[in-house]
Every structure is written in C-alpha cells, then in structure tokens.
C-alpha cells in the first residue's frame, strides 16, 4: 500500500489509528481504530457528515471507546482498574477517618479486620461504591445523582459567571475550516469531545455542565491552530455574551450568597466541635441505697467515653455536698483513645443530711488536660424512691 498517495488528513488518520491500537495493546488495526481516529480529528469532515445524517456522533464515539477497551485482556485496562481500585481504597479510608480520627485509623490499619468489623465494613462499602463510580458509572454520577446541576439552576441568573459560547462571534459556523463571511466556529466538535458529560456548550448552559472548563481549553487550542483569537468559549455571563459589556461581579445576589455561606460555615463549625469526653452517671443496680451505722450509702455507676485520639486518665471527684465521702476503686479511670469504660463508686454521708429522702450532689470528672465536667445528680436516702 502506497501511503504517500493518501491525503495528509488520511495519513494522519492512519497514524492515529495505529497509535490507538498500540495504546490499547492490540496487535492489528481494525475498523474501530480507524473510525475512532477519524472522529477524533479536530478539523476532519467525518463528524459534520455524520451530523448531517443525524447520527449521534458522541454516543458512537463512546461505544467505540468501550469496545476497544473491552477487546481482550490488555495491560492498559488492568492498570487503569488497578489505579481506580487503589484510589478507591484510599478514599474509603479517608472517609472512615472523618468519624474515627486519623490516629485511630492508623492503629486499625495495622490490626486484623476482625477486631474492627464495623469500621472495616464502612471502608469496604465506600471503596466498592467509589470503584463502581470510577470504573463504570462515571459521568452518570454528575448527570443523575450529583445535586450540583439542580442547585445551579436555582442559584444562577443572567449575570452569573458561567462557561458560555460567544454565539455572535462564532455563527454562522463553517464546516471543517474557516471561510470568509462565516463566524470563527469551524464545527470541529472539539468542545463536545472534551466534555466529560458529552454536552455541546454551544447550545447554551445545560444542567449537565459541571463547569470543568475542558471545553474552553479544547476550543482555545483549535483557535490557535486556525489563527483566530481565543475565548470563543470562555467564562462570562449571559448578559455579557449577548451585549458585549463586561461582567459586573458586585451585586446584591453575591452579597446575600456570601452572607449565607458564612452563616452556614459558622453553624457547621459550632456543630462540628465535639467535647473531649462524654460522661454519663447512672444509679447502681439493685437497691437505690443502703444504711450502715447511721450513714446512707448510694452506689453509682459512672460511664466515660474518651473521644480524643490518645489515652486519658479521668479523675473522679465529689464536689458537693460538703461532708459526703466518695469511695472509688478505680480513680483515676484510664481509658484508651476512642474507647469507653465504666466504674462504680460509693457515696456515703449521714442519714440526717437527707430532707424528704433526696439530696442534690455534684460530681466532677477531669482529665488534667483541659477537660472538666460538672454533672448534677440526686442522691436517695430514707423515705426516698428511685426514679
């Protein structure tokens, strides 16, 4: 075959088809390689011809890529899925660390999964969902599930900064190359090919647009090749594209949205602040109190959850009433980071201190590192009843 007899475009298409076969690790060049190479030519005539025949070119290109990707085992696909799986595992662990903390996660990773089944299952399910998104669901996450498009349809107005096509400059379009009297757009479809969700930005802002800007880069590249100014597709407002006036960024809507975001940020910061420990005081099991030689004894259970990432020693004290004695077999109470422990204490004081069988008391729990909790509690005595 005399390749030198072919046109320059045909030679470029053959070279692109060969590169595709090499990229997918295929031993021969098939029709799919050649057709995909023709569709990927920025200034070729294949796309305009198929458009005139009402062939869904974007769907055809995606199907060709899927067929090439699935044809036989190849190192590229295995490596790609391996990278996807690795990223999914990393993201699954990062997601888990939001709830258990980085230090606890570092410890869990070095231990057997059986010791932390709950956390391991959360990480596994998250990894599976992320890998499914990366390997299969892909742009459908943006078009079907992600709420970004629904939010932008509500929040944007005609003066909002968006990615837009300059219709005045680009129309009427030429086919394949720029012609005198026509606009700068040569209908190369480069913006459509570059779009992750497969939309045509020239049709205006659409819900599927994720504002990634890849169509801008693709269009600017083509404009440079045909010696036209860049910016046919650019960041601008709808009013600016239609009138040519510069964008006005400071307006009431921007101030209101900024204020709402600040309020939301402060609210989330306050909600996200958690105490270093949770303390719960419960009445002991069995009789609410006992009497011994003129004294009344209350058995009390104190439960402490250490929400920090490091071990803490919690000191238990009885702040009131004056004259009462507290017997604590475990004091201070040692608790590892992220763990919970409970202990029983006994409070003894003269029976005559009770008025109507009840007496208010206050326990204090501290760790010596800034955490102090004062918890009120009601002691019971003679003529009192357990609540």
pLDDT in tens, 297-322: 999 999 999 988 889 999 999 998 88
Strand locations in the chain (E)? 162-165, 233-236, 277-283, 290-292, 295-306, 312-320, 325-327, 333-335, 340-350, 358-366, 372-380
Domain 277-380 class, CATH top level? mainly beta
| Residue 290, token pair as written in the block | 């006992």
For the beta carbon of residue 287, count every other beta carbon within 10 angstroms.
Answer: 12
Average pLDDT, the chain: 85
How far apart CA 80 and CA 32 sit, in angstroms, is: 21
SS3 category, 347: strand
pTM confidence score:
0.52
* Average pLDDT of the residues in 326-345: 91
Residue 273's contacts (CB-CB under 8 Å, 6 or more residues apart) are: none
Comma-separated ranges of CATH 2.60.40.10 domains in the chain:
277-380
| Cα–chain center distance at 306 | 28
CATH number of 3-70: 1.10.10.10, 3.65.10.10, 1.10.1780.10, 3.30.460.80? 1.10.1780.10
Q: What is the pLDDT of residues 87-133, one digit of tens each?
A: 999 999 999 998 888 888 888 888 888 888 888 999 999 999 999 99
Most confident listed range (44-58, 115-129, 181-195, 270-284): 115-129
Comma-separated ranges of CATH 1.10.1780.10 domains in the chain:
3-70
How far apart CA 264 and CA 126 sit, in angstroms, is: 27
How far apart CA 296 and CA 323 sit, in angstroms, is: 12
How far apart CA 153 and CA 57 sit, in angstroms, is: 27
């Amino acid at each position: 075959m005399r390749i030198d007899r072919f046109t320059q475009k045909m030679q470029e298409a053959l070279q692109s088809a060969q590169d595709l076969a090499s990229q997918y690790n295929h031993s021969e060049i098939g029709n799919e390689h050649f057709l995909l190479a023709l569709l990927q030519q920025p200034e070729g005539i294949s796309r305009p011809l198929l458009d005139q025949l009402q062939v869904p070119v974007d769907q055809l290109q995606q199907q060709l890529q899927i067929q090439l990707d699935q044809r036989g085992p190849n190192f590229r696909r295995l490596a790609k899925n391996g990278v996807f799986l690795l990223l999914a595992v990393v993201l699954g662990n990062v997601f888990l660390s939001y709830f258990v903390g980085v230090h606890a996660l570092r410890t869990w990773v070095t231990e057997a999964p059986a010791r932390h089944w709950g956390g391991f299952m959360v990480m596994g399910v998250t990894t599976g969902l992320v890998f499914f998104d990366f390997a299969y669901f892909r742009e459908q996450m943006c078009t079907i599930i992600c709420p970004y498009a629904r939010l932008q349809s509500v929040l944007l107005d005609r003066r909002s900064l968006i990615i837009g096509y300059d219709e005045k400059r680009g129309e009427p379009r030429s086919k394949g190359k720029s012609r005198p009297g026509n606009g700068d757009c040569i209908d190369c479809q480069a913006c459509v090919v570059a779009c992750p969700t497969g939309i045509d930005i020239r049709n205006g802002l659409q819900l599927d647009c994720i504002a990634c800007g890849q169509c801008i880069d693709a269009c600017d590249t083509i404009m440079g090749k045909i010696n036209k100014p860049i910016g046919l597709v650019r960041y601008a407002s709808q009013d600016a594209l239609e009138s040519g006036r510069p964008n006005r960024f400071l307006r009431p809507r921007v101030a209101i949205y900024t204020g709402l975001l600040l309020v939301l940020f402060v609210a989330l910061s306050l909600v996200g602040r958690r105490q270093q420990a949770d303390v719960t005081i419960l009445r002991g099991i069995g009789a609410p109190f006992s009497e011994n030689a003129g004294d009344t004894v209350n058995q009390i259970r104190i439960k402490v959850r250490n929400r920090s990432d490091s071990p803490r020693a919690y000191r238990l004290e009885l702040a009131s009433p004056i004259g009462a004695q507290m017997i604590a077999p475990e004091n201070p109470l040692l608790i590892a980071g992220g763990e919970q422990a409970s202990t029983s204490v006994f409070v003894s004081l003269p029976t005559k201190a009770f008025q109507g069988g009840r007496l208010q008391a206050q326990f204090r729990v501290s760790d010596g590192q800034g955490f102090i909790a004062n918890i009120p509690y009601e002691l019971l005595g003679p003529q009192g009843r357990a609540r």
